[in-house]
Chain A
Amino acid sequence: MRTVPLTELAAVIRSKNAGPYELTLDIIFKREADYLFLKEAGFFTRELFARLYGIAPDQVLNVVYFDPAAAVKATLVRPLVSGALGDTDIYGAQQHAPLLALQVPSPGSGS
């Protein structure tokens, strides 16, 4: 099966704090069909996010498919609590970059 960059299919890819202890990643798809294809394929998993961020799967708290927005979100335990000594991103707003390089399976001809 051919793959395409996630950036081709997504309208929004972002990261943000969900409170000071959690980091949450949102992927919102342009087309519901692409979202549903990847949802049915079970593509987004704890293991995938763990691999992308180099963390243990138990540090990925959840992966949720949210149909009303054709969106997938994953929530990670923050390596450091927001603002703790050594924290590098108080708002958690620049932790999405590994998702920009992700290739995802695509069913069709891209029509």
Chain B
Amino acid sequence: MARHPYQVLSPTAILGYGFPEDSFRNGMDKKPDLIAVDAGSTDPGPYYLGSGKSFTNRLAVKRDLSFMLRAAVEASIPLIIGTAGGSGARPHVEWTLEIIEELARENGISFRMAVIHADIPQADVLDALARGRLRPLPPAPQITPGEIRSSTRIVAQMGAEPVIRALSLGCRIIVCGRCYDPVPFAAPPLLEGFDPGPAYHMGKILECAAIAATPGSGRDCVMGLLYEDCFELESLNAQRRFTRISTAAHTLYEKSDPYSLPGPGGMLDLRNTRFVALENGRVRVSGSRFIPAPTYSVKLEGVKPVGFRTISIAGIRDPVLIGQIEPVLDSICTEVEQGFGGAGRLLFHRYGQNAVMGALEPEKNVKPHEVGLVIEAVAPDQEQANALCAYARSTLLHYGYPDRISTAGNLALLYSPSDISCGEVFEFNIYHLMETDDPSAPFPIEVREVGR
């Protein structure tokens, strides 16, 4: 067992969200054993995995990384980046590596770096399906081989094992593809023999940095202190503190069941977890247990393309039209989609009238004095989407609805050009658990000497 506490510095909730320099310096002054940061999420939706682009900004990521990279190299401690580039597939990882290599050149620093890829070939997923080793994570549906083949890109969330292997290869800087969020924070202490229950639970809170403190923030630094049977949380900014409630409440966040949190190879059991407030705005958390699963599974995420999108934004202020807007838009939708030969899909979003909650909206019969309208067209290619959007926009602009007295035009168009091409559209189509005999096998490691 290593000396404890094992101190983990979490600078920001997502790489690129930023942090105050003072908080970061406070953290480094306490001589942490590790700097770790989560860089991704599925929350921004399927586009980023599908397109291979990051949802974070390059300059912002470079700014955050410049502090972390220099500090980690200078202090000779590991820096681990989880779910690089937002979605953790190969183009996202490459994008992050380019930034790191640029920073190494600019700062004249050198280090051994591990790159752990998380892309899963379609053939492996098809094989897992055929062998009964693939199951949907409810409420995701069952999957067919055809659906797997339609996927643009598939990644799996790695557990701690490949990261531990990279550390054993002497790598200080570790860039992970898609990764279970707590792993960058938990893997090094696990290698040193710490209990996975507190280690993963601490990682689960640290991956959001100061969001779990009060007042919460996604862009501030916190420290996790790991002991043999518990962990403590400490804000590195005097303006925030951890409270029993803020910490416990965060355990609920974005999870369907706060008592059992499934991850690669097992389940975090929080039924006996206790949160105790300490002095100076710290909280101690004990009783969290990790229960290994009988078979090791990783979660797959995949997306498929569904066409290209064009939108147009307009306002409607005419009360005669607003009074009958639903039947008017329904008939235009049918007419335009049919006129277009069924090759595309048209959607109208009426802000001010159920546009936010859609089917879940309890107040369905609101009559506002104005409506914000987004015309959305999705078609097999961008040209067709542009044409469909233009067709819908011009039809609606001059549509002669019953009792119309304003015959000049039905839309207050917001922009010229009025129509905006948005590019390719993706949907999640794989959200499944895949069994694997070797937790490291799906995640090949590449070792690079940077700056030497």
Contact = CB atoms under 8 A, between A and B. Distances in A.
Contacts of B258: 64, 66, 69, 71, 73
Contact of A28 (B137, B249, B254, B275): B249
A17 B254 contact: yes
Interface in A89-104: 89-91, 94-95, 97-98
B146 interface: no
Given A16-B253, A66-B258, A71-B249, A22 B360 contact: no
A41 interface: no
Contact of B360 (A24, A53, A64, A71): A53
B249 A22 contact: no
B359 interface: yes
Interface in A1-54: 11-12, 16-22, 24, 26, 28, 52-54
5 pairs of A and B residues whose beta carbons are closest in the complex: A83-B45, A69-B248, A75-B256, A68-B248, A83-B46
A71 B275 CA distance: 14
Contacts of A20: 42, 45-46, 428, 431
B427 interface: yes
Contacts of A89: 356-357
A26 B255 CA distance: 10
B347 interface: yes
Interface of B: 42-47, 137-140, 244-245, 248-249, 251-259, 273-275, 306, 345, 347, 349, 355-362, 378, 425-428, 431
A27 to B, nearest CB: 10
B349 A88 contact: yes
Nearest to B42: A20
B45 A69 contact: no
B356 A88 contact: yes
Contacts of B254: 16-18, 24
A62 B257 contact: yes
Contacts of B273: 68
Nearest to B140: A21
A90 to B, nearest CB: 4
B270 to A, nearest CB: 8
A15 B362 CA distance: 16
A17 to B, nearest CB: 6
Nearest to A51: B362
A83 B274 contact: no
